[in-house]
């Protein structure tokens, strides 16, 4: 077997299907920087509140570096954690109004760790068809039976729930490719009625929606890597659920603790998110979204173009005009629904958003206000 040839053939097929990808470096501080020698404004970041550049967040990371150095050195259970990890977990739990929280190295591994910890043999995971890849992969790695329900269709979910053994319902709260919102009140009440564990991935929920309280068990997943401007993920839940994850969630157990500087940055960012300043940043973000697509519920704004080739060409054309807007193609989205995905941040200027709107109209030939 010549693996280099095999790899080459597969890449060739991906290229023919307009699905080949490559990594590019963006030399930036926040949303502005240079790519391939060109000055651009990025609409490709999930740093929705611009906190990766906030002076208090950066200072907190500096202090942590000075105090503890760079890498944590070992896994949390091998005592790789520092006090800052515990402090961050305490604040994350308070923020999510849960008894505890557990850090993971990324949001991706928080999804994997949670679904594999609870999705044991004899359980059934019910998963929205448009859930993020981390949840899809968590379902695949679990020992549970997995049933996929049509996107946001609560009647279909209810039908499946009534036939499922030890059900776990998992859903993005804000869907990462469409920017639409899960019917969270219905999810909470259906799970309460059917004694199902509800797992909500709140990675993109910078503007909510808030999660109503309910009588059932739930796990709230989040990431430090998006609007907390850092890196890492977490699961927040009742004490016993968190304690079980500490003992059985392999993506928590068999990996080095996140760096103390990342934890310190996330903690400083979380304190801003929960303050008046955070509220003002969210108000600003909301206003920018309304300029581009009035009333859209999240900072993720898709412009579906259909063919991968069209989405890639539009993205390239926008880059020439100074805007980084990624083309999202299968398998990240369904065949025939390749798109541009704009993500807005409170760090954008009003004029930048206005100019982007004009450029999008020029490149796609349509208005994009939904
Ligand atoms: C819904 C959702 N969950 C989880 C993740 C993974 O988070 P992280 O980037 O921290 O691994 C992402 C994005 O990457 C996401 O969109």
Residue 287 Cα to ligand 1 middle (Å): 24
Q: Residues 133, 137, 140, 146: is their CA dihedral positive or negative?
A: negative
306-323 confidence digits (pLDDT tens): 999 999 999 999 999 999
Q: What is the mean pLDDT of residues 136-153?
A: 98
Query: Is any atom of ligand 1 closer than 6 Å to the C-beta of 106?
Result: yes
CB 179 near ligand 1, within 6 Å: no
Nearest alpha carbon to residue 111 among 134, 143, 139: 134
Ligand 1 contacts CB of residue 203 (under 6 A) = yes
Angstrom distance (rounded) from CA 340 to CA 312: 8
Distance 108 CA to ligand 1 centre (A): 5
The predicted model gives 278-286 an average pLDDT of: 98
pLDDT digits (tens, 9 = 90+) for 155-185: 999 999 999 999 999 999 999 999 999 999 9
pLDDT tens digits, 232-241: 999 999 999 9
Can you tell me which atom of ligand 1 is nearest the CA of 233? 10
Q: What is the mean pLDDT of residues 99-108?
A: 98
* 107 pocket-lining for ligand 1 (C-beta < 6 Å): yes
**Which atom of ligand 1 is nearest to 224's Cα?**
10
List of residues 6+ apart from 313 with CB closer than 8 A? none
Q: What are phi and psi of 200, to 5 degrees?
A: -115, 130
User: 28 CA to middle of ligand 1, Å?
Assistant: 21
pLDDT digits (tens, 9 = 90+) for 175-226: 999 999 999 999 999 999 999 999 999 999 999 999 998 788 999 999 999 9
CB of 115 closer than 6 angstroms to any ligand 1 atom: no
CA distance linking residue 203 with residue 111, whole number of Å:
10
pLDDT of 210: 95
Average pLDDT (125-154) is 98
pLDDT score for 370: 61
> How does pLDDT run across 23-80, given as a tens digit for each residue?
999 999 999 999 989 999 999 999 999 999 999 999 999 999 999 999 999 999 999 9
Substitution candidate for ligand 1 out of 47, 114, 205, 225 with most atoms within 8 A of CB: 225
For atom 16 of ligand 1, which residue has the closest CA? 176
Least confident of 207-221, 260-274, 336-350: 207-221
State residue 213's pLDDT score. 86
As a whole number of angstroms, the distance between CA 151 and CA 157 comes to 10
The model scores a pTM over 0.95? yes
CB 273 within 8 A of CB 49: yes
**Ligand 1 touching residue 85 (CB < 6 A):** no
The CA 3 to ligand 1 mean position distance, Å, reads 31
| 148 Cβ neighbours under 8 A, 6+ residues apart | 126, 127, 128, 129
């Amino acid at each position: 077997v010549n693996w280099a040839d095999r790899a080459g053939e597969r890449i060739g097929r991906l290229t023919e299907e307009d699905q080949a990808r490559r990594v590019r470096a963006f030399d930036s501080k926040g949303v502005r920087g240079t790519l391939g020698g060109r000055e651009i404004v990025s609409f490709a970041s999930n740093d929705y509140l611009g906190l990766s550049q906030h002076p208090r967040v950066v200072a907190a990371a500096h202090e942590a570096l000075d105090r503890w150095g760079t890498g944590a050195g070992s896994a949390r259970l091998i005592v790789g954690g520092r006090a800052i990890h515990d402090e961050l977990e305490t604040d994350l739990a308070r923020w999510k109004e849960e008894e505890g929280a557990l850090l993971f190295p990324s949001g991706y591994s928080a999804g994997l760790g949670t679904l594999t910890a609870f999705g044991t043999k004899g359980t059934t995971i019910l998963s929205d068809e448009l859930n993020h890849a981390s949840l899809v992969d968590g379902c695949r790695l679990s020992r549970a039976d997995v049933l996929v329900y049509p996107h946001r269709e609560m009647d279909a979910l209810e039908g499946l729930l009534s036939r499922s053994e030890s059900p776990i319902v998992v859903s993005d709260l804000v869907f990462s490719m469409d920017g639409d919102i899960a019917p969270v009140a219905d999810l909470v009440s259906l799970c309460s009625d059917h004694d199902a564990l509800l797992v909500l991935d709140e990675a993109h929920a910078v503007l909510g929606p808030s999660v109503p309280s309910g009588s059932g068990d739930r796990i709230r997943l989040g990431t430090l890597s998006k609007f907390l401007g850092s890196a890492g993920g977490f699961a927040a839940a009742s004490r016993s659920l968190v304690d079980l994850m500490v003992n059985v969630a392999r993506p928590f157990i068999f990996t080095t603790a996140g760096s103390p500087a990342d934890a310190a940055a996330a903690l400083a960012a979380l304190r801003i998110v929960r303050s008046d300043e955070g509220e003002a940043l969210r108000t600003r973000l909301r206003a920018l979204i309304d300029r581009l697509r009035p009333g859209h519920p999240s900072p993720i704004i898709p412009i579906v173009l259909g063919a991968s080739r069209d989405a890639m060409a539009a993205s390239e054309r926008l880059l020439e005009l100074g805007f980084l807007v990624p083309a999202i193609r299968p398998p990240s989205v369904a065949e025939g629904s390749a798109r541009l995905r704009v993500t807005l941040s409170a760090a954008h200027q009003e004029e930048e958003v206005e100019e982007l709107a004009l450029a999008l109209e020029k490149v796609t030939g349509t208005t994009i206000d939904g």
